Every structure is written in structure tokens, then in C-alpha cells.
Amino acid sequence: MKRLYSIVVLLATLSGFAFADALDVENLPLIRPALSEVFGPYEKWLAGLNVSQDVQNAVNQYRQQVTLEMDEGEELEVLTSMVIAADSRYAPLFEEKVLAQRVYPMADLTALTKAEGTPEWIVNVMNLQAARRLANNGLFDDAAELIKDLKPESSPCPATLLFYQGLVKYQSLDQEAALPILNRLTAMDAIPARYRELAQRMILDLEKLEPKSLDHISRRMGDVAGRLDNGRANEKTVEIEDGIVKDLDEQIKKLEEQLQQMMQQQQQSSNSQPKPPQGEQAPSRVAGKGHVDRKDVGSGSGWGDLPEKEREKDLQQIQENFPPHYRDIIEQYFKRMSETEN
């Protein structure tokens, strides 16, 4: 009985460790899978297709090209070719003219990858390859949709998957989502040099990017312009536009508050001018009743009624806080929005 109890405790402990590992799987270090892990799921899928000898020969030729010394991007190209060689239904979806279109037929790809009996390996390879091509053509939203649910632990090309998952999040300036992905990528050993260098640059850029800053606003404007160029005047684009307008209003309010503070400081400085020393002649007594005509200065701060020199000084302050580069971007942005609405 004592021995049985010990075995139960041991199993419970081990299962506890396994559960903890499952919870922390996204924090575990990733390594590039061995070739046996890469080809095993594919061969099982291929066996179920009962392909001809010609197809088998074509597949074997592609397989001989793959080595662990090969760049992951090149490996993904070969693996895609192996799938297309075995199932020609994928071929039209990976033609350059289709991948360069503004509207990619994602439903057609999904219908194939989600068909009964399609292994996760096929989904990983084909969705990643399509997303990679789409992102390279500037269609980041479509790419993000294809790879959002893919797991690097199940991918034959984990570094490539992490890179493009991080890239699409970076493109949308989603710092909270992008940084963990990119940091996990750079923690991997033996990844393509270009992945590491670009990931490090994106990390540094995101870490110093201040949300709602003028830089942040201008880059989101660029994102909107790209979406409109690609025919993506959808709800997400409208949501980004609304956020831009809201943040611009906040920036304008800050500048108005700064201007108001400057005016108050000038007023205080004027009131604190030294009084004439005793003994000097006092100003003559005014004989009038003291009534003056009230002028309508509007509901503004009165900045437009400042003397010319004071207005120039305040304009200079505004220019320092709102650089011409951003003013030009804002003008172009709203001009573009007006043209789009028309």
C-alpha cells in the first residue's frame, strides 16, 4: 500500500510539472525541428493520397534539397512546392499574380487547409507561405489573419512564423503584442541573420515609440494611407481614423494649454514691472468718467489680438512643439480623407 501511495504521489507531481509546462509553453526556448520532425507529418499525409509514381518522384526531388543548413525561408519555399506537387489544388493560390492582388482569395485557401483529414502541418506551411508573400506585397491585414492562430511549436519553420507574426503586429503598432513575439524570436539560436537584425530594429523602434505622440499619429496616418491604397476602407480602417482624430484633438488641446500658460506668464511679467521711484512725478489725473466701449473679442483666448511681436513669438513656440513635418503629414492626411469621401 505504501508503494502504491508513492507511485500515485509521483504521478501527480509529474502531471503537475507537465501542466505547468503547458501553461508556460510560450516562454519555452524554441529550436528548429529536426528533419525527421519536418517530414514525418508530410509523409503520413502523402501516404493517404495514394499519389502516382511521377508525383512521388517529384516530391523526392524536392525533399533532397532540404537540409538543416538551408535558410528557413528557402526551406519554406521547398516545403510549399512539395505540397503543391502532391495536391495541385493549391497551385493557383500561390501564383505571383494572385498573391499580388489587392483581394487575396483566403476563403479558397481556408477551404483546402480545413478540409477533413488535412494535418496541422499543412495548415502551418501553406498559411505561413501565403502570409509571407502577402506581407511582402504590403497586405499585412490578410497576412495577419492567416497566421494569427498558428503555433511556432508546431511549425516546421518556427523562426519564420515568429518573424511574420511580429512583423504584422509591428506594422499595426501593436507594441503589447509585437514585443513578446519579437523577443522570443531573437532568443532563438541559429535563426536567419536578416530575421534577427530586423527584429532587433523593430524592438528598439517600438520601445522608444510613445503612444499618442506626433510620431505615433503620423505613422498611423501612413498605415491608413496604405490600407486605402490596397482597397481596405473597412471597419478597422475607420476605427484607426477615429483614433487618429481623437489623438490629434488631444495634441491640439495640449498646445492650446501651453499657449494659455505662456500668455499668463506674460501677463504676470507685465504686472510685476517695477514701480517708479518715489519723488518722480506721478501721472496726471484723468478727468474723464472712466467709461470705455466694450469690444466683442469672441470666446477665444484673445491670442489674435496680441501685438505683432507677441503673435510671432507664440507662433514660434507652436512651431517648436508641432514640427512642420507633422503639419504637412496632417494636411496631406485630411486632404486624402476628403478625396476618399468624395
Q: Could you read off the pLDDT of 17-39 as tens digits, one per residue? A: 333 344 445 566 788 899 999 99
Q: Is 7 a residue whose pLDDT tops 50?
A: no
Torsion sign (Cα): 66, 68, 71, 76 = positive
Residue in the structure block whose three cell numbers are 507633422: 326
Q: Which cell goes with 97?
A: 499574380
At residue 341, the pLDDT reads: 59
Task: Give the number of C-alpha atoms closer than 13 A to the C-alpha of residue 312, restricted to the C-beta side.
Answer: 3
Residue in the structure block whose three cell numbers are 499619429: 217
Q: Which of 129-133, 158-162, 275-279, 299-303 has the lowest mean pLDDT?
A: 299-303
At residue 180, the pLDDT reads: 96
In contact, 337 and 242? CB cutoff 8 Å:
no
pLDDT bracket for residue 336 (50, 70, 90) = low
**What DSSP element (H or E) covers 217?**
helix 214-229
**Tell me, what amino acid is at 273?**
Q
At residue 259, the pLDDT reads: 81
Pick from 221, 205, 198: nearest CA to 73:
198
Q: Is 200 a residue whose pLDDT tops 80?
A: yes
In contact, 142 and 157? CB cutoff 8 Å:
no
Q: Which tens digit of pLDDT belongs to each residue from 203-244? A: 999 998 887 677 677 777 766 766 766 666 667 777 777 767
Distance CA 256, CA 59 (A): 68
Domain ranges of the chain: 28-208, 210-268+306-342
Q: Is 167 a residue whose pLDDT tops 80?
A: yes
- Region 328-332: mean pLDDT is 61
At residue 19, the pLDDT reads: 34
**Tell me, what amino acid is at 79?**
L
Pick from 133, 142, 197: nearest CA to 172:
142
Q: Per mean pLDDT, which of 96-100, 195-199, 256-260 is the most reliable?
A: 195-199
In contact, 84 and 42? CB cutoff 8 Å:
no
At residue 230, the pLDDT reads: 65
Q: Which tens digit of pLDDT belongs to each residue from 287-321? A: 555 444 544 444 444 444 556 666 566 556 555 55
How far apart, in Å, do the first and last CA atoms of the chain sit?
83
Residue in the structure block whose three cell numbers are 512651431: 319
Percent of the chain with pLDDT over 90: 39
Q: Is 87 a residue whose pLDDT tops 90?
A: yes
Q: Which cell goes with 25?
A: 509553453
Distance CA 233, CA 228 (A): 6
Domain 28-208 has CATH 1.25.40: yes
